[in-house]
Structures are given as structure tokens and as C-alpha cells.
Structure 1
Amino acid sequence: MATQPSLSIRSPIPVLVAVLGLGAVIVSMMQTLVVPILGVIRQDLHASTADATWLTTATLLAAAVCTPLAGRLGDQYGSRRVFLGVLALTLAGSVLAATTRTLAWLIVARALQGVSTALFPLAQSVLRNQLPTARMPGAMGTISGALALGNAVALVSAGLLSGASTADYHLVFWLAAGVSGLALLATALVVPGAAGTGAGRTDWLGAVLLAASLTLLLLPLSRGADWGWTSVPTVGCLTGALVLGGVWVRVERRRPDPLVQLGVFARPVVAAVNLAGFLLGFAMFMQFIGVSTVVQLPAAPAGYGLGASVSQAAIGYLLPPALASLLAARLAGTLTHRFGARRALAAGSVSGVTGFGLLAVVHDRPAGVLAGGVLVGVAISFGFATLPAVLLDAVPRAQTGVANGVNSVFRSVGSSVASALLGALLATGAVGRPGAAQPALPAQSRFTLAFSLAAAAFAVVACVALLGRRAAPTPTGDG
């Protein structure tokens, strides 16, 4: 068995938490970094809307596959070692993104950046090994709040670095490389190591099957508008995703050391929490990409855009929700301690329903976009802060690490579906005359539908939180 090393003298608890928090900042940075500049990249690389959407979808797809794999490797070889490896891949992806000028290689780079999502559950594993139980809630609150800080840093930097007419969007990726390099150095100097168990084998087959099934699911969501929703490629990909998904489940159940312990996650309470995680990721990216897109559309000929520049979209419309999310993290922790995680999650979900309701109705008015975005930001913060606590009540302590890792996977898959689905929605229902000099723009009804779907997602999260409150068992032991 792995030994439990004592905290290093050169790594006092506040410093350790700060460094791990920097890793959480990178997680959210890599996911949101391109959101304000998708339009700029699309124009520079002459890419279609559906193709450019893969700059976010590839990142989230890589996150969904690599997060459980990194968790398994962390158990085998030690969380610190895998944490450093993930940061190295993130740094490589950032440098590649900063130097390439082709869409294909940029998508590859974004996939490498997506591996960074594994840093969040790995940070939780380091904290469990190094901190006394009494210090865990405060440390986890700090790590969760760092996710909101990363969103704010990414949105502001992307807006400032690429907003000027002479600016190059590659500067945004150089910033990501700098932050990743700093985190890699700080982790190497501060985070103490812990020996892995060395037991079992890595489930590479499970990782490949999961990647293939998710790709077949997301590809038709991204290209369905071009292929036709009833065409052979679309139906074939969806059928293939279903078949491979079934094969993956069968393989995971039979392997002695599966990528994902399906037995734990088949429990109704845990399945409900993972559904909530999926819907949280879905709603989060519906806000990021939907708001960024709608405010940058010209008022004419669409009749509803706000004509914002990249920097105005990032700082004026995306930064306030990110700051609200950061401030709400502390409130979420207080309410969780006083009333319980499920009630706090339900309260945050109500804020999300209200916010997306506003966005669905008044996304053509600056005040409506701001108010709706802030309410959604609060809801997202509550979700990040409360879901780990809900899982802690639903699974034995020894399984909380893998439970949070898989919940991160569900959030990434939800974000991937939102990214691909929104790209498909905006690629259909165009406004404009055929043959006109200006490109066709998405119909306003597409944004109304997207924001309404996100509101419905938060409504389901609220139901999951409230209906599961009495059904949640109190786990005992470590089994």
C-alpha cells in the first residue's frame, strides 16, 4: 500500500493550497480561453462555424477521456507525478497553439490543453494525502473558487490581448503557456510526493473505447446541420456511439482494474449527482459560448445583436458573471455548512433558471444579458462548490476521489455536448439574403432555444437536489 507522507517543511498548507489552486485556475482557463476569440480565429483561419466549434469540443472531449485515466495513473504512480505530467502536456499544447497557423493543428493543441481538466481531481487527491481532515473543507473551497478565478483571468486576458485591431490572438496562447510553465515549476518545488500503490494495470482499452464513443457522439452534433439530421453519416455515427458505448460498459464490468468503477456509479444517488454534473457543464458552456456569440453579432441585418468587439464581449459581458461566480463561492460554502449541500445546490439552480430565462427573453438588450449572466454565474459557482459535498455524502470516503473525478468527466461531457449542439444550432436558421455580400447570421430563435434548454437543465438540477435529499444514504466505512 502507499505510504501517507507527512507534509513537507517547504510546503506549508497555505502555500500548498495556493499552488494546487493555480492548477484549478489552469483548468478553467483552458476551457474558456478561446470563447471570446472564436470569431477572430474563425476569420483568420477561414473556418466554418461548425469547424471552429471543435476548438472547444476537442478540449472538452480530451478532458472527458483523460480525467479518469489520469486518476487511475495517479493511484498507481502517485498524484504529484501525474500532476506534473498533465501540466507538461498542457504546456506543450499551449506552445503548439501559440505557434501554429492551421486549424487542424490548433484543434490538436486544444485537445492537449484539455488534458488539464484532470488537475482538479488530482489536486483533491493531493489534499486528501497531505491535509488533516479538519482542514479539508476550507482547502476544497479555495480550490473550487480558483475555478471561477481562472474563468475571469481567461476572459479578460483573451479580450485585452486580442481585442485591438492589430493584436494577434496567438498572444492568448502564449499567456496560457506562461501560466502553465509557472504552475509546472511551482508544483515541482512545492507539492510533496506520495508513493502510488503500483497495483493493477492501466485500462488503455477502456480509454480508447470511451474516446471513440464520445467522438462518434459529438461529431454528428457538430456536423449534423451540414450532413442532414437523417443522413447516413449522422445516423451511422450516433449508432456507432451507442454500440461502442455498450461495448465500453461491458468491457469495464469485466476488467479487474477498469478505467471507471461502474458499480459505484450505478447507485441511484451517485447517478443523480453525475446527471447534475453533466447538466452543470452543459449550462456553463451554453452561457459562455452563447453570450459571447450573441453580443458580438451586428444589430443589422440580424436585428438583435449588440455589435460588441472581442474585448467588449469579454470584459463587459463575460467578466461580470465570472466575478459573480468568484464572490458567490464563499456564500455557497456558508450555505452548505448551515443548510446542507443539496439545499444550497437547489438554491443556486433557481438562480440559474432565472438567469437563463432572462437571457432567453432579453438577449438583445445589454442590461438583460448582464443580469442574466450574473445570475447564471452565481448558479455555476454554487454547483462547483456543492457537488463535491453531495458526493461526499453519497459514497464511502475511500471512493470520494474517483467519484469527484468521474463527476468532472460528466461535466466535461456536458460541456462538450453544449459546445457541439450550440454550434449546430447556430449553423442553421440563417438570417440574410442568398448571395448577399454579408454572411448569413443565425436566427434569433436559435439563441432563445439554446438559453431555454440551459434553463431547463438547471431546473432538472434543482429537482435532483431536492428529490434526492431524503434518499441519500449516509455512507460508512471505506468500502
Structure 2
Amino acid sequence: MESSDSPKAENRSGGVIGILAFAGIVAAVTQTLVVPLIGELPTLLDTSASNASWVITATLLAAAVATPVAGRLGDMYGKRRMLLVSLVPLVVGSVVCALSSSVIPMIAGRGLQGLGMGVVPLGISLLRDVVPAEKLGSSIAIMSASMGVGGALGLPFSAAIAENASWRVLFWVVAALALAVATLIWFVVPGGRVNTAAGRGFDLVGAVGLGTGLVCLLLGVSKGADWGWGSATTLGLLGAAVVVLAAWGRWELRTSEPLVDLRVTARPQVLMTNAASVLVGFAMYAQSLVVPQLLQLPEATGYGLGQSMLAMGLWMAPAGLMMMVMSPLGAKVSAARGPKVTLTVGALIIALGYGLSLPLLGSTGGLLVATIVCNTGVGFAYGAMPALIMGAVPQSETASANSFNTLMRSIGSSVSAAVIAVVLAQMTTDFGGFALPSEDGFRVAMLIGCAVALAAAAVASLIPVPKADASGSAAAPGPAAPEAAGAEARA
């Protein structure tokens, strides 16, 4: 086998990192794909605005359920294999959406797309197997940053196509990109190590229980503003989530082959990292909800900036790209001081970005600076969290633990969306007979984001990392397995 420092091995690992980052970008683009269309979907699909909102909600719910399941299956049957499997519903769902003319098939297609969202945690976990130890930190950071790049590119990409071509082209393009990713993974990405979790049983009861609990929780959180936070439906779903997730946790602790090993997630380093992940997910998402609205509100409000959807996407794009630009620096900080320090610094930078935004709300340039600073912090934080997780879990739990961490970030984002929606709905101003979020409402939302980012920094600073892990060395892969590792290498 070639040494990891040979030119050929270096080129091959660089290609693998690029392909997996490309997969993350495609997944992120899929999530933001319909944002420019949301106002037109009721007309396009001949349905109500309430029904059309399920086009976004379906993806969120499917992704939340699929991510931990894909992670566990990746540990059992191979991360590369599950990457390829995850891309199948992404392609099929995109085709279904492209052919849809009514809301039901569109929701079904978006749900299928959500099933493919396990691509990012699976890709990060596979890096531990196939990338040389000295490149692991930077490759994790790049892979994590791909979500920001995809989100940044998704808005202007979607808006440009929606304004100049049929909206169906959006989904055909994503289907083609997902097929391209699958082809590259099939021919270029090695299989990694033989799976130490292979042969274990799959916890179907745990998967159904976690899926049910998450659907109840996220459905209540995401639709609570529409249904009313005191409505029987919302309270019933949130109550059911508590009961189901408690029963699920009891089951996971008693079964011999759990979907998520709660004893591993209870380890202080993993538990505190996941807690910080929820807060970072909240802080990251708050500004991405506020800034686009400020950019698009009419100038006549006195604080809106009157930008089109396409212009808004272009103003937001540099912030997402900054995540990729800054990821190597974050990896260097992790190598020198440990991923705990990188996560703490990242959360503080996010808080700084929110602080800068407060006096700059009335200017496009000011919001650009604030979002760039915020996303620089997100890039640091997102690269550090998988390194902390993988430094504390056994090889057989890598994909499952990473997927659970990704789920924690998603829950943080969902709670953020609900909280910010309540703030903006309660603090409004009258504009031509329409209630719009007030300037004070936006300021309060940004202050909440700042406070949560500071809380994330405080939690991150308390993560108990053993001295041996201070430089992130515990996350490094062990001796490389042969490239054709068992049947998985080209299966």
C-alpha cells in the first residue's frame, strides 16, 4: 500500500475530500431550493399557502428521521455504501418534484429529498477512514463548510433560474448533480475500513420510536406559529414528543443493539459537544432568517432595503463562501489548540457578528459584514464539532455519533425558526394595512441570536477534553485499511 505522503496518495485523498464536499454542497442546495418559490407555490400547485408550506416542512421532517438511521446503517454496512444509498431518494425525489403539478406529489418528492440529507454526516465519518491523519482536521472543516457554501449558492442559483426559466429546471438540475455525485463516489471514493459494527442487528423499534418522537417534536415546533402555540394540536404533538422520546430513551438503554448508544452520547465530551451544537444551530439560523427579510422589505418602511430575491441571494452568498475560505484556518487552530478552543472561538465570533449587526441594520454593506463575521464563526464551529465527537467515540460508532450531532444542530435550527417567528410576529408595524415585523423586532431577534451564541461559547469552554486529545489527535484515524476493505470497497 502507498504511504500517505506519496504524491499519488495525496492527490487521491484530495480528490476524495473534494467529492465529499461536493456532495455536501448538493445536499445544502437541495434544502434551500424552494425558498425563492415559496410565495408562488400556492399558484403553481393550485393549493393554499398553508398546504404549500409543507413543501419545506416535509424535507425537514424526513431529514430529521433519516439522518440518525443513515448513520447507524453506515456503521453497520459501510459509509460509502450508505452514501450511495442516500443519494437514490435525492435523485428520485428531485425527479418527482420536477414532474409535479399538484401539492401532494411535490410534498412526497420533497420528503424523498429529505431522506438524502444523511450525506454530510456520512461523508464526515468516511473521512476518518480514508484520509491521512495529518489531513483529517482540514478535511473535516472543508466538508462541514460545504453546507454553508451550498446554502449560499442555493438562494441566488434558485432565484436566477426561477426568474429566467421554468421552476421545474431547478429540480432537474439537482437530480443531475446528485447523479454526478453518485458516479464520482462510485468510481473514486474508497470504501474505508472494514466495519466493526457489521453483523450487529438493526434496532427497528428504536428507529421507529426516534422517528415518531422527532416528527412530533419538529412538527409542533415548526407549525406551532401557524396552528397557535396554545392549540390542542400543537400541545398534543409536543406532549407526545416528550412521552415517545422518553420511552425511546428507556428502550435504547435496555436493548443490546441500540440505534443510538445513549451511554456513548452521555460521555461528558460527547454530551457537552451536542449541547453546544444545539445552541450553535440556533445562533447560526437566527441571522439567516432575519437578514433576508431586512434585505427584501420595501425601503418605504424606513429600515427595509428593497432588494429583489436574486439580489438578496447575491448579498448573502459571500457569507456562505466565507465558511469554506476560513475552514483551513479553523483546522489550524484545532491542530494547535484543540477543537474545543476552535468551537469556543467560533461561537464568540458568531456573537461578535450579531453585535456588529445592531448598528448596521439599515445598510446592505453593513449586513454583508455582519453575515460574513457570523458565518466565519459558523465555519470554525462546524469544523470543530465532528472532530470533538470522533475524538470521543469508538470506530464502530463514528457515523451514528456524527449523525446524532447533525440532528442536534437541526433541532437547534428548528427551535430558532420557531422562536424568531414568534418574536417577529409579536413585534410588528402597520405598513399600508399589512402587519410587517418592526425594526425593534429584528433587533430583538438579533440580540437573542447573540445571547445564544455567547451561551454556546460558555458550554463549549466547559467541554472536558482529555489532554491527549488537546490537538484533536484522538479523532485521527488509525492505521489505514487496504483500499479494498472487505466487500465494501467497490460494493
Same fold (TM over 0.5): yes
Residues 34-55 of structure 1 show CA distances to partners (whole Å, capped at 9, x for unaligned) of 3444344466557777665544
Change (3 A) 1:332 1:55: farther
Q: Which residue of structure 2 lines up, in the alignment, with residue 153 of structure 1?
A: 153
Mean CA deviation greater in 375-384 or 274-283 = 274-283
**Alpha carbons of 1:137 and 1:430: their partners in 2 closer, same or farther (altered >3 Å)?**
closer
Give the conservation status (yes or no) of the 8 Å contact 2:217–2:238: yes
Aligned residue identity for 1:337 = A
For 1:256 and 1:305, how far apart are their aligned partners in 2? 56
Q: Does 1:81 align with 2:88?
A: no
Q: Judge conservation of contact 1:277–1:387 (CA < 8 Å) in 2.
A: yes
Query: Residues 371 and 50 of structure 1: is their aligned pair in 2 closer, same or farther, counting only changes over 3 Å?
Result: farther
Structure 2 residue matching 1:279: 3-state secondary structure: helix
Q: CA deviation at 1:123?
A: 1.8
What's the offset of the Cα at 1:426? 4.5
Change (3 A) 1:335 1:51: farther
Over residues 3-51 of structure 1, what are the superposed CA-to-partner deviations in whole Å (9 max), with x where a residue is unaligned? Answer: xxx9x99x93233222222212223222333344434446655777766
Work out the CA distance in 2 between the residues paired with 1:50 and 1:419.
17
Choose the corresponding residue for 2:345, options 344, 347, 353: 347
Structure-2 change in CA distance of 1:221 and 1:120 (3 Å):
closer
Q: Deviations over 1:383-407 (max 9, x none)?
A: 1111122224434455444322211
Cα pair 2:347 2:457 within 8 Å, conserved: yes
Gaps (5+ residues) in structure 2? Answer: 478-491
- The range that moved more, 448-457 or 391-400, is 391-400
Alignment of 1:28-39 (within 5 A): 28-39=28-39
**In the superposition, relative to structure 1, how do residues 346 and 242 fare at CA in structure 2: closer, same or farther (>3 Å)?**
same
TM, length-normalised to structure 2: 0.84
Q: 1:405 to 1:219 in 2, by over 3 A?
A: closer
- In structure 2, the partner of 1:455 is 450
AA in 2 matched with 1:455: C
- The one-letter code of the counterpart of 1:260 is V
- Counterpart of 1:111, as a letter, is G
Q: 2:189 maps to what in 1? A: 191
Instruction: Give the equivalent residue in structure 2 for 1:140.
Output: 140
- Give the 5 Å matches for 1:193-342: 193=191, 196=195, 198-300=198-300, 302-316=301-315, 318-342=316-340
For each residue in 1:160-195, what CA deviation from the matched residue of structure 2 results, as whole angstroms up to 9, or x when unmatched? 222x3x543333222211211111222222233466
Instruction: Please give the alpha-carbon distance, in whole angstroms, between the structure 2 residues aligned to 1:247 and 1:14.
Output: 44
- 8 A contact 2:224–2:418 mirrored in 1: no
Deviations 1:61-114 (A, max 9, x none): 322221121122122222222111101111112222223243443333223222
- Evaluate the alpha carbon distance shift between residue 144 and residue 217 of structure 1 in structure 2; reply closer, same or farther with a 3 A threshold: closer
Distance 1:457 1:334, change over 3 A: same
Q: Mind listing any 5+ residue stretches in structure 1 that lack a counterpart?
A: 1-5
- What secondary structure, in the 3-state scheme, does the structure 1 residue paired with 2:38 have? helix
Deviations 1:413-460 (A, max 9, x none): 222333344445545555437xx7x65433444433332222222111
Q: 1:396 to 1:443 in 2, by over 3 A?
A: same
Please report how far the alpha carbon of residue 139 of structure 1 lies from its aligned counterpart in structure 2 after TM superposition: 3.1
How far residue 242 of structure 1 moved from its aligned partner, in angstroms, is 1.0
Check the 8 A contact 2:280/2:347 in 1, yes or no.
Answer: no
Structure 1 position 58, deviation (Å): 3.1
**Alpha-carbon contact 2:344-2:461 (below 8 Å) kept:** yes
Give distance in 2, aligned partners of 1:143 and 1:325: 10
**Does 2:368 match 1:370?**
yes
CA distance in 1 between counterparts of 2:252 and 2:209 reads 10
Secondary structure, aligned partner of 2:175:
helix
Is contact 2:286-2:445 (8 Å) kept? yes
CA contact (8 A) 1:200 1:257 kept: yes
Q: Partners of 2:446 and 2:50 in 1: how far apart? A: 19
Aligned to 1:356: 354
2:481 maps to none
Task: Give the superposed CA RMSD.
Answer: 3.2
- Which of residues 410, 414, 426 in structure 2 aligns to 1:412? 410
How many Å separate the matches in 2 of 1:86 and 1:69?
11
Q: Classify the secondary structure of the residue corresponding to 1:305.
A: coil
Alignment length (residue pairs):
465
- Aligned equivalents of 1:284, 1:276: Cα separation in 2: 12
Q: CA shift at 1:210, angstroms?
A: 1.8
Q: Which amino acid aligns with 1:462?
A: A
Shift of residue 258 of structure 1? 1.4
The change in CA–CA distance for 1:201 and 1:92 in structure 2 (over 3 A counts) is same
The alpha carbon displacement at 1:215 in A equals: 2.2
- Counterpart code for 1:464: V
Q: Given that residues 281 and 415 in structure 1 are in contact (C-alpha distance below 8 angstroms), is that contact kept between their aligned partners in structure 2?
A: yes
Judged with a 3 Å threshold, the aligned counterparts in structure 2 of structure 1 residues 296 and 49 are, in CA distance, closer, same or farther, namely farther
Q: 1:132 to 1:338 in 2, by over 3 A?
A: closer
Alpha-carbon deviation of 1:237?
1.8
Whether 1:182 aligns to 2:180 is yes
One-letter identity of the residue aligned with 1:415: S
Amino acid paired to 2:222: S
The residue aligned with 2:389 is 391
CA contact 1:47–1:103 (8 Å) conserved in 2: yes
Q: Which moved more, 1:261-270 or 1:49-58?
A: 49-58
Change (3 A) 1:451 1:103: farther
> Does the CA-based 8 Å contact 2:323-2:376 persist in structure 1?
yes
SS in 2 for 1:394: coil
Following superposition, the deviation at residue 120 of structure 1 comes to 1.9
Deviates more, 1:106-115 or 1:194-203: 194-203
Identical amino acids, percent of aligned pairs: 34
Alpha-carbon distance between aligned partners in 1 of 2:103 and 2:463, rounded to the nearest angstrom: 44
Question: What is the deviation of 1:314?
Answer: 0.2
The amino acid that maps onto 1:296 is Q
Q: Distance in 2 between matches of 1:202 and 1:293?
A: 44
Is contact 1:218-1:420 (8 Å) kept? no
Check conservation: 1:286, 1:451, Cα contact below 8 A. yes
Residues 239-296 of structure 1: CA distance to partner in whole angstroms, max 9, x if unpaired?
Answer: 1111111111112112221111111111233111001112222222223233223322
TM, length-normalised to structure 1? 0.86
